A and B are shown apart, each in its own frame.
Chain A
Amino acid sequence: MTEIYKKLENIVTKKFISNSLIVRHAYSRVVDPLLQGIPDIVIRPKDAKEISEILKVANEENIPVVPRGGGDDEFGGSKPIGDGGIVLDMKRMNNIVNLDEDNLIVTVEAGISWGKLNEYLCHFDLYTGCMGPGSGMTASVGGGISHQSVGGGGCAKYGSCTNQLVSLEVVLPNGDIIETGSQANKYSQVPFNRFGNGPDLAGLFCGDNGILGVKTKISLQVFPRPPYAAYKTFVLPRKDREVSSQIMLDVRRKGIDVYDLMYIMGIIVLLGSEFGMMPMWEHLKKNRGIIFYTVEANSEAELEEKVKQLDEIIVNNKCDPIGPEISDGNIAKWHYAEQGHWQFYHNLWGVVPALEPLSCECFVPANMYPKYLNEIDQWDMAHSEDLNKFTKITGQRPVSGSGPIFLIDGNNVELTCGFTSFPSYYNGEIHEEFDEINLRLWKSYMEMVTKWGAQWYMMGQMASQMMAELEAYLPDYYKTLKAIKKTLDPKCILSRGKFNFWGD
């Protein structure tokens, strides 16, 4: 390893590479409390050329490489699967390369966060539309594109962040550097269109979960931020799951370009209030769900009309409006005006110490989620014995269900489902059985979700392997995906182990 380390050090210089055990542990985890993989080496490359050289060395030496953006994924996506290999910390590459104000296209290095990018854009009265994933203040643009991310706001109007992708610079596993879309034509002056010049190769890397290439430069369409916005929150009637679903479908049928539309389950409202997490909802009727929307417009009259249409749909579904201020319970205002984000997702993460998420976030059709939420309830009952095992030690049963369910492009929603549970270290003692139970429960939950036909977007280690193990992919699809991987990455250097693709 010393010789390999030396080769890599020569590429990035010694300030940007480490094999310190301490540094390696710092990069060994992501958001979930269960999966850990300790890399041999962490590298912070500065550009595509360095990454290309690193990947060439990795191929020569047959060492797996995992790209890591903001490190916010929840399925073990940006740390090694098992121990060993190289973590490519992309956060050094966090610069704005160019803003084309005429054509409304921004080009950035892949390690930049959505937060930093949107802070920059706001000085030009622009924004990215879909504001990236729920962890968007920190999560990287490269990670968002690699996962088809949603959740940071705006996905009902703009869809997944990959919808606004124009072109990519990607380092392939063999070290080749390609550009996609309009940039595939060497005579092109500026990135301006994703499609054309042959197949949509950029699409191959959207949602690839880091297995097909390392994104280094990304051009995105940006949008003028409308000067007017309204945000309202409503209490749902009984049967909140079905009613919220109906509202989402009605909004789509009306063709209103709502910016965000989110439903929060009654149990989350109830427990959130009981645990002191949502003081703004303490005055509400208990065990009723919440639905909220944000809508934008270019004039007061346009906004008024959109609000009128949305309110009509929601009130016709027997929802009660909540007052306009955050203190009244208007979470929509907090979410939009204060950029309040993902920490309220994930089934009451953190309501008691060490309660952390084991997520199963996925896309499902908007008309189907009430049924799925009922199945989650049944899953919870069926696994009650295992879930109760935690209570004896921690005094708190893990919480299953879903965080906010929100409309994305088309008639789809993101279901931020899963459960929150406890890690094996609890109050000075190690309970190894916790890890075993958590892993078993997580896999069981994922199996249920996979068998709904749900679409995973952020797959990482867990969901990608689950799809392969359950043989959920149509055989020819999986064969084709594997063939693409084999062609681009015969030694399976990049993100080795995801989708159960292993090296020679």
Chain B
Amino acid sequence: MTELKNLKNEWKAIMSCMGCGDCGYSIRRAVGRYLTCPVKEAKGEEGFEIYFSRGRMNVLKSVLEGKLPLSRELAEFVYQCTECANCTEVCHETHNENIILNTSKWIDHYKVWDALRKDLVEAGFAPLDRHKDLVDYMNNDAMKNPYGEDFAKKYEWTSDFSNIKDKGDLVFFAGCTMPLRQQDTLKNMMNILIAAGMEMALSKEEWCCGSIGARIGEYKSVEKLMKHNIDIFKNMGAKTVFTGCAGCYRTLKKDYPEILGEELPFEVKHITEVLVDLLNNNQIPFKSEEGEKLKVTYHDPCHLGRHMDLYEIPRELIAKNSWC
């Protein structure tokens, strides 16, 4: 039997789960709840309970009680969870500011899944083969991104932005996904910031933030990335580091200090926080307010909303735009 040191830290959550199953099945129209676990929904008719929180909590009770060992088979099930944290949302939704189900104080499901993944890695049952490739890419000196792309490719987009500085108070952390998979979005975002007169710095030595590794539970390899990126930001003179990626934001702001056990010497912001400040200061020069207004649908990224509770600022940003 492995030590289960991370899982044991989450015993309150695991043993407080009563097994009501709302995380898998509950529809509660009065509060607009129609979807519970997206993995269970995606599994459709094949959705055995192991695919959503209650089933896994039952299994983890058995693990803590010493009746069931960690295993590769368990890992295969556990990594099907996206850690979207909707189970937590549903679990806590019963209460409001007037009626509080106290279990919401000790059940944060994704912390349990994170702990389990760490223990699975430490026990040698994870990463799974397909995840190991991602971790290897992330740590490969020629790549330093989980997409397995050449390191230099991550900076191709900067050729259109020669005025970005090497050093400064405000540092942009591009991450991996935007430069490698969402370049148009990234360039549009940069154009807005430049039009608003923002002066910002970017390092061409940044590595993956480590989100992929952290979510897999592969923390040892993540630490090296974190320390590298922090050193880079320090050397650039960063007072604020911002990113357009919800996953990077969660990792930089939450995982870095938690894993390294120290406060960061700079502030971390999401692009929406930067933009809303610019809007409040009338720094974004809109051309015209004429024409048909846009309808905007905003989807809260799981890592921004449920993991970081950043819900209002993106909405404020949309509300303050006169064209929508």
Q: Are A341 and B94 in contact (CB under 8 A)?
A: yes
> Within 8 Å CB of B106, what residues of A?
353
A82 on interface, CB distance cutoff 8 Å: no
A356 on interface, CB distance cutoff 8 Å: yes
Q: Are A138 and B98 in contact (CB under 8 A)?
A: no
Q: Are A354 and B15 in contact (CB under 8 A)?
A: yes
Q: Are A356 and B18 in contact (CB under 8 A)?
A: yes
A280 on interface, CB distance cutoff 8 Å: yes
Q: Are B25 and A22 in contact (CB under 8 A)?
A: no
Known A15-B46, A30-B19, A428-B8; contact A71-B94, beta-carbon cutoff 8 A: no
A112 to chain B, nearest CB (A): 10
Known A350-B18, A354-B15, A430-B66; contact A334-B25, beta-carbon cutoff 8 A: no
Q: Are A138 and B18 in contact (CB under 8 A)?
A: no
B195 on interface, CB distance cutoff 8 Å: no
A419 to chain B, nearest CB (A): 14
Indicate the member of B50, B58, B98 with the most A CB atoms within 10 Å.
Answer: B98
B131 to chain A, nearest CB (A): 18
Tell me the chain A residues, 258-282 only, with Cβ under 8 Å from chain B.
275-280
A425 to B106, CA, bound (A): 16
> Within 8 Å CB of A92, what residues of B?
45, 47
Binary B-proximity of A327-358 (CB < 8 A = 1, otherwise 0): 10101001001111111100011111111110
Q: Are A122 and B8 in contact (CB under 8 A)?
A: no
Binary A-proximity of B14-57 (CB < 8 A = 1, otherwise 0): 01101111101111111100100000000001111110001110
- Using CB atoms, name the residue of chain A closest to B13: A353
Number of chain B residues whose Cβ lies closer than 8 Å to a Cβ of chain A: 52
> Within 8 Å CB of A119, what residues of B?
27, 29, 34
B185 on interface, CB distance cutoff 8 Å: no
> Within 8 Å CB of B281, what residues of A?
none
Known A26-B49, A138-B22, A428-B11; contact A350-B29, beta-carbon cutoff 8 A: no
Q: Are A276 and B102 in contact (CB under 8 A)?
A: yes
Indicate the member of A22, A326, A337, A423 with the most B CB atoms within 10 Å.
Answer: A22
A115 to B21, CA, bound (A): 12
Q: Are A44 and B21 in contact (CB under 8 A)?
A: no
- Using CB atoms, name the residue of chain B closest to A279: B98
A109 on interface, CB distance cutoff 8 Å: no
Known A338-B30, A339-B31; contact A22-B99, beta-carbon cutoff 8 A: no
- Using CB atoms, name the residue of chain B closest to A70: B21
- B interface residues (Cβ-Cβ under 8 A, vs A): 8, 11-12, 15-16, 18-22, 24-31, 34, 45-50, 54-56, 58-59, 61-62, 64-68, 71, 73-74, 77, 94-103, 106
